[in-house]
Amino acid sequence: MKPEEGFLPRGTHVLGDLHGADPEMLADAAFLERAARQAAELAGATVLSVNCHHFGAGLGVAGVVLLAESHLTFHTWPEHGFAALDAFMCGDCRPQLAIEWLSNALRAQSSVVRVIERGTAPTSNKPVAQEHFGNEVA
């Protein structure tokens, strides 16, 4: 098979660092799994599978949601009120919406959101869009 030329798959990858989020929610694997599914569907994606790992009672949770349009992941540190999220979606999905919705659901006081276009030609060097939301944390 020879690759087609002149077309590159495109997708948007959104990274969200959430600060000052609710520690109890960040340690609740069942809640996080439901929230991640809901965020992915809200963004217009189709969930294929969800896989979570809870590091222990009161500790963080790592989760990966495999999507027909790529993936959504979350990693939480309840002891720091911190979560690292990423949503990579192709097509007409809106990964930014998933990250914003999760930021609200987890009651984050502030977040750093980076938006990165994937699948652009290697010659392009488009800067990453970065946004800060909410109150600064100490």
Q: Is 70 a catalytic residue?
A: yes
Please report, as residue ranges, which positions from 18 to 57 form the binding site for a copy of itself (by CB under 8 A): 19-20, 23-24, 27, 48-49, 51, 53
Q: Which two tokens stand for residue 104?
A: 């609200």
Q: Which two tokens stand for residue 128?
A: 């990453």
Q: Alpha-carbon distance 95 to 71, whole Å?
A: 10
Closest by CA to 28, choosing from 54, 50, 66, is 54
Kind and range of the H or E element at 102? Answer: helix 95-105
Q: Which residues are catalytic?
A: 70, 75, 90
Positions touching a copy of itself (CB under 8 A) are 1-9, 11, 13, 15, 17, 19-20, 23-24, 27, 48-49, 51, 53, 58, 62-64, 66-68, 70-71, 73, 75, 77-82, 84, 86, 88, 90, 110-112, 114, 116, 118-123, 125, 127-128, 130, 132, 134, 136-138
